[in-house]
A and B are shown apart, each in its own frame.
Chain A
């Protein structure tokens, strides 16, 4: 057994022990069980959130982008950073307020409340499931590649083990996944990533020397136009790279979440700010490690393993085992969250809404289980024999989701004339155009990214569809009133505005109307 595998095993035993210990000493009441981690402070909450959202893309896709395209990859990093800020600012605030007023819990429910029609859910749920499948697929591949590298077994075998462990975790994770395990895992991951970055910089002689050496290999990598300057002037592609993780990211159902519990709002707010700081420090790291991997490991067979290989090269052996274990655990928890979300969409947004309106909670569990197993089997079938690149899969699925949903989300709060016909047209056009543009090879032929064409198509469809059907499908009166309330914000001190508790939105607006 290699030292890395040994540490992997020790790591998971330690996590299980922490989980068991925390469960034993934890409160026995159901509130504590349902709202696990509620008593934790904002710093811990932020770290836990980040550890579960730092997916396989960051550890494989981002490194690969840096390795193959140099500083061009920073367009994606910039979009990722910008997306967080955008979500925290005006757009996110209005969306949260409207979702509270309309009483929505999930993102799909929010769309159906704003654009009342069963067709909204009928279109949105399968599109979301379709895209989530690809995102989960990326986690499967990342897990398989990591295990392949650490254990030395062939990729199909490593993939089967990785998927098996992820599915097992999805079933039994409730016994382990307590706040403390997430927190410890996040600490190790952050320390590990920073450690890899620092050790990499030391190994290449510092940031400036590293850049000079990369420039000696290929000076184009130091520009933001790609390894062969192929993206110079290709603003359609660059715009797409910027948009995919800023605007596109907002299409993900797990991003547009609302608070479930009436918990102290200050924790959630401060955690949001900490998360932003964390992103600023963390996001450029994997891209830079990927870039400098060119110096340390110039002949990598698969650039997607750049981060793993660099870690293996620059860290002490015991640290490689721990960091690899933490990365694998992060991939696992992201996959677990996505699979559960997919199960919820299948059970509540499709099965309970259209097939069995009296679904019991036992049936809900079974629909979720079958969905997870189906996704795992199909995922293995695709990934084992012709695995696509993690970055490509993540970017594709984010592109489709962003194209399909973002105009509907944005117009929901910013445009009073946006109606059901417009939203349905927008979701259909965004999905079709982005998928067809990609599979037809149009990005290479035209130099325009599918994110650009997808978002243009869905926005145009929203405008045309809404304007053409104002008479036949007017926006319901209660929606109009809710929008009036959503927009009713004057010049307010910034500190006060940032500190608001969106959970109170509906209570506040309704109390105010009566006065």
Chain B
């Protein structure tokens, strides 16, 4: 099974700065890098006027949600990083074929909406990666004597509060 680990573009210091910018006084107690599994696909997507191009898509194995995304940047293999993989909660977990269908449906719909009805279809899978591991920071932080647990996206710095 082919796997790929996405490069962590936002480090723990960046994560801290992002949260502190939103809540001055917030103190990060710890930041742990965890990896979430996606199925990855590269499709050839016809555009208009005979043009076509590549598009990358990721599908979350645990929720089934598909995304169009930027081309992947792989983590340097020499770092020898040991991944802290998120365990399968068995909620809506999907298999690889379902992920493939969802990715293709998403790209077809997106292309149709963008190109309108002059689009002819013809989305074709070029390659796939069975497991793409996406980095996220699990941050424990405190502010005014309250503790917070926040996830910070290791690719773009977006964050989500898990609890307090």
Whether both chains belong to one complex is answered with yes
Which residues of A are in contact with B by a Cβ distance under 8 Å? 28-36, 100-105, 113, 169-175, 177, 260-266, 336, 340, 343-344, 348, 352, 360-365, 368-369, 372, 478, 481-482, 488-493, 495-497, 499-515
9 tightest Cβ-Cβ pairs between the two chains A and B: A501-B158, A490-B164, A30-B53, A174-B115, A362-B121, A103-B64, A30-B55, A361-B121, A103-B63
Bound-state CA distance A344–B108 (Å) is 11
Contact A31 B68 (CB under 8 A): yes
Set of chain B residues within 8 Å of A29, measured between Cβ atoms: 53-55
Contact of B74 with A by CB under 8 A: no
- Cβ 8 A contact of B117, one of A103, A104, A171, A515: A171
Contact A262 B156 (CB under 8 A): yes
Set of chain B residues within 8 Å of A177, measured between Cβ atoms: 116
Task: Give the residue name and chain of the A residue nearest to B163 (CB).
Answer: A488
Contact B117 A372 (CB under 8 A): yes
Contact of B4 with A by CB under 8 A: no
Bound-state CA distance A105–B118 (Å) is 24
Bound-state CA distance A495–B21 (Å) is 10
- A contact face: mostly helix, strand, loop, or mixed: helix
Q: What's the minimum C-beta distance from A247 to chain B, rounded to whole angstroms? A: 27
A-B contact pairs, 30 of them (CB 8 A): A28-B51, A30-B45, A31-B69, A34-B111, A102-B92, A105-B106, A260-B110, A262-B67, A262-B155, A264-B156, A264-B158, A361-B112, A361-B123, A362-B121, A365-B120, A481-B91, A493-B143, A495-B23, A496-B23, A499-B22, A500-B160, A504-B153, A504-B159, A504-B160, A506-B62, A506-B65, A509-B162, A510-B86, A511-B34, A511-B151
Contact of B105 with A by CB under 8 A: yes
Task: Give the residue name and chain of the A residue nearest to B36 (CB).
Answer: A507
Contact with A along B120-164 (1 / 0, CB 8 A): 111100000000001010100001001011010101111111111
For the A-B complex with A101-B63, A504-B153, A507-B60 known, give 14 more contacts whose Cβ atoms are closer than 8 Å. A30-B43, A30-B52, A34-B55, A35-B68, A103-B64, A105-B106, A262-B155, A340-B113, A478-B90, A493-B23, A500-B158, A508-B151, A509-B162, A514-B89
Contact with A along B40-60 (1 / 0, CB 8 A): 000111011101111110101
Which residues of B are in contact with A by a Cβ distance under 8 Å? 19, 22-23, 26, 34, 36, 43-45, 47-49, 51-56, 58, 60, 62-71, 86-87, 89-92, 104-123, 134, 136, 138, 143, 146, 148-149, 151, 153, 155-164
Contact A512 B153 (CB under 8 A): no
Set of chain B residues within 8 Å of A488, measured between Cβ atoms: 162-163
Bound-state CA distance A496–B162 (Å) is 12
Contact B92 A504 (CB under 8 A): no
Contact B117 A492 (CB under 8 A): no
Contact B22 A34 (CB under 8 A): no
